């Protein structure tokens, strides 16, 4: 289908909720999307230049469009999710989860029992879940068996209790309480046992009442281990999202009867530079389907449209905001764990991810595979030196480090020194036709950065190499011709690499400065001794390395270095000095 035909088709699209499908020349679905207004959404792909490369490629490959009209935005969300799972289009996010989650199974016949399983096959049984933690699930099952011993088949077998009719009668009597307990409503069971206990006490059945009291204590103890948020907050789903350049991380907290009863995080790979709102919307639909959530109230980190039947809030304060913050913290920890695993199992992917993130964080046109960082060192203008360190793929390349003696600057002038060393560095790289870095980092604020930019202007490299300055006090990041600094999160990996490069340049420069200062001090000590000129000084230092060793050398050692007459004369002068 030619573009003209697509334009005609777009003009005929209805302005109602629905799902659209893009086909390529092979008549294969390459993208499925949902829209509150089909005409506006589909038109947006074609009436502007797309910033994202993958989106431009998608638009280029669209040959035909189809659509399905639905009643509401929520229907569109659900239909989109189902169609994506069915057709797995090339440009769509596909939520993959290879885990088989555990479920609690209740079985009434032939004998009542409770257990956990990963396979939902028998329709005669009742299943609850899924659960994200097997450990939590096992503790819950054990609690239920202790509270309702007729479900503990292992114990009944050991005690040779085999009264089927009695077990079924007890199951029917306590079925509602058991299900409430599985769903996290411990208060229902506690209140039920308290009523029974009062009745038994009034009937003077104190031993049976004591048994119920022990069960109540067990339930209260288990409840205390749950994360209590607020007894007034119940039957609520909490969702949050954080993201990096390539993935989104969506956390889900289920709050039931004042306690957090479930936490789950999923990772979504971005395909077309999707925004957080879009990813969160998709994640909410998928997670609620997975856990069969029927909650009508949602607390979210971002405002998301999910249809009129759900009450959506973005809390700004109080216990509700604390819940969203806790969800965000869980998502962050999940991302950190993923990064650590990636660093171990796939170092190359880890490096590419960091480079990609730095490109975004620092507003760079290219990924900074090759970074060079400069720092000056001097004490009140004496022995001025500079250091250039090199990072490749976020790691030091020490064989490419370089020291510079400042030649054209007199006195303590950091700005002029930076201008000189940057000019010398890149003049030489241009003459040698060597590879240039994608990013230059200057240790200092606006003044040092401006001086370095002057040298790039002279060499014609302005715009060909990205450059920034990082100031130590508040870790402000400055860009040329921009007086407002950028502040990155203190935990940002991009900032950590800049800090490491800056610190490495400072360390490398200080070592060279100390060596030069030490040599200068040593030279001046030898210069005041009569008979020692430049040539003699060089011979002594070459052989004995330090003034201390020269001073303590024997007469024979000095004669062996300088000859009989001169050696004897210098030895005497050294002893008198």
Per-residue pLDDT tens digits for 425-446:
999 999 998 999 999 999 888 8
Kindly state the average pLDDT of the residues 565-576: 78
Q: What is the DSSP string of 201-222?
A: HHTT-HHHHHHHHHHHHHHHHH
Residue 280 has a pLDDT of: 92
CB 393 within 8 A of CB 369: yes
Q: Are residues 243 and 325 in the same domain?
A: yes
Among 149-153, 282-286, 294-298, the least confident range: 149-153
**Mean of the per-residue pLDDT values for the chain?**
81
Range of the domain at 557: 528-576
Confirm whether 298 is domain-assigned. yes
CB 363 within 8 A of CB 254: no
44-76 b/e (C-beta count within 10 Å ≥ 16 → b)? ebeeeebeeeebeebeebbbebebbebeebbbb
Confirm whether 241 is domain-assigned. yes
Give the span between the Cα atoms of 145 and 324, in whole angstroms.
Answer: 34
Per-residue pLDDT tens digits for 172-201:
888 888 888 777 677 777 887 888 888 888
- The CATH code of the domain that includes 30 is 3.40.1440.10
Nearest to 263 by CA among 379, 128, 383, 130: 130
Question: Is this model's pTM higher than 0.75 or not?
Answer: no
Per-residue pLDDT tens digits for 468-484:
999 877 888 999 988 88
pLDDT tier at 381 (50, 70, 90 boundaries)?
Answer: very low
Last residue of a domain, one of 21, 56, 87: 87
CB 567 within 8 A of CB 555: yes
Confirm whether 185 is domain-assigned. no
- Count of residues in the chain: 577
* Residue 68: its H or E element: strand 64-69
Residue 1 has a pLDDT of: 44
**């990064």: which residue's tokens?**
339
| Cα within 13 Å of Cα(55), Cβ side | 14
| Orientation of helix 186-202 relative to helix 206-225, angle to 10° | 160
Q: How many domains does the chain have?
A: 4
Q: Are residues 294 and 376 in the same domain?
A: no
Confirm whether 26 is domain-assigned. yes
Q: Are residues 419 and 393 in the same domain?
A: yes
Residue 158, Cβ neighbours under 10 Å: how many?
9
Nearest to 251 by CA among 274, 280, 227, 230: 280
Instruction: Specify the DSSP class assigned to residue 436.
Output: P
Q: Are residues 34 and 57 in the same domain?
A: yes
Per-residue pLDDT tens digits for 90-109:
888 766 555 667 888 888 77
Looking at the DSSP bridge assignments, the partners of residue 391 are 371, 396
Q: What is the DSSP string of 530-570?
A: TT--HHHHHHHHHHH-SHHHHHH--HHHHHHHH-HHHHHHH
pLDDT tier at 158 (50, 70, 90 boundaries)?
Answer: low
- Report residue 78 as tokens: 């659900």
When comparing pLDDT for 221 and 445, which is higher?
A: 445
Q: Are residues 9 and 69 in the same domain?
A: yes
- The CATH code of the domain that includes 296 is 3.30.420
């Amino acid at each position: 289908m030619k573009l003209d035909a697509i334009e005609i088709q777009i003009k005929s699209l209805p302005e109602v909720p629905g799902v659209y499908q893009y086909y390529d020349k092979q008549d294969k679905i390459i993208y499925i999307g949902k829209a509150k207004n089909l005409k506006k959404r589909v038109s947006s792909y074609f009436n502007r230049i797309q910033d994202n490369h993958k989106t431009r490629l998608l638009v280029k490959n669209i040959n035909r469009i189809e659509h399905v009209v639905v009643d509401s935005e929520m229907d569109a969300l659900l239909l989109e999710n189902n169609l994506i799972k069915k057709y797995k289009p090339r440009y769509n996010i596909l939520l993959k989860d290879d885990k088989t989650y555990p479920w609690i199974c209740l079985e009434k016949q032939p004998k009542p029992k409770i257990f956990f399983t990963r396979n939902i096959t028998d329709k005669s049984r009742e299943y609850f879940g899924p659960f994200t933690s097997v450990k939590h699930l096992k503790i819950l099952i054990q609690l239920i068996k202790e509270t309702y011993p007729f479900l503990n088949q292992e114990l009944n077998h050991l005690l040779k209790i085999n009264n089927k009719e009695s077990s079924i009668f007890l199951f029917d009597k306590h079925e509602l309480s058991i299900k409430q307990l599985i769903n996290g409503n411990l208060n229902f069971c506690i209140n039920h046992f308290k009523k029974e206990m009062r009745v038994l006490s009034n009937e003077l059945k104190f031993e049976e009442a004591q048994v119920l009291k022990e069960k109540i204590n067990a339930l209260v103890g288990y409840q205390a281990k749950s994360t209590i948020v607020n007894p007034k907050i119940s039957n609520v789903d909490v969702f949050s999202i954080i993201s990096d350049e390539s993935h989104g991380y969506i956390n889900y907290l289920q709050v039931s009867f004042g306690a957090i009863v479930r936490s789950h995080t999923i990772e979504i790979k971005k395909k077309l530079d999707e925004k957080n709102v879009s990813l969160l919307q998709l994640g909410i639909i998928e997670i609620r389907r997975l856990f069969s959530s029927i909650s009508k109230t949602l607390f979210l980190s971002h405002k998301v449209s999910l249809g009129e039947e759900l009450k959506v809030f973005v809390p700004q304060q109080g216990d509700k905001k604390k819940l969203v913050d806790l969800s965000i913290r869980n998502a962050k920890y999940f991302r950190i764990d993923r990064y650590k695993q990636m660093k171990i199992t796939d170092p190359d992917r880890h490096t590419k991810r960091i480079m990609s993130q730095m490109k975004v964080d620092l507003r760079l046109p290219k990924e900074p595979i090759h970074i060079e960082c400069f720092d000056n060192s001097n004490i009140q203008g004496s022995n001025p030196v500079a250091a250039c360190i090199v990072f490749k793929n976020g790691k030091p390349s020490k064989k490419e480090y370089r020291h510079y003696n400042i030649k054209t600057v007199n006195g303590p002038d950091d700005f002029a020194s930076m201008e000189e060393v940057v000019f010398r560095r890149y003049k030489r790289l241009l003459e040698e036709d060597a590879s240039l870095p994608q990013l230059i980092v200057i240790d200092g604020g606006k003044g040092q950065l401006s001086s370095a930019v002057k040298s790039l202007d002279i060499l014609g490299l302005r715009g060909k190499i990205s450059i920034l300055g990082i100031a130590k006090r508040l870790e402000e990041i400055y860009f040329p011709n921009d007086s407002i600094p950028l502040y990155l999160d203190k935990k940002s990996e991009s900032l950590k690499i800049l800090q490491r490069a800056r610190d490495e340049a400072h360390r490398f420069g200080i070592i060279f400065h100390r060596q030069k200062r030490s040599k200068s001090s040593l030279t001046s000590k030898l210069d005041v001794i009569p008979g020692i000129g430049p040539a003699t000084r060089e011979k002594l230092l070459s052989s004995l390395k330090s003034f201390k060793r020269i001073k303590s050398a024997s007469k024979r050692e000095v004669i062996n270095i300088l000859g009989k007459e001169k050696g004897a004369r210098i030895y005497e002068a050294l002893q008198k000095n």
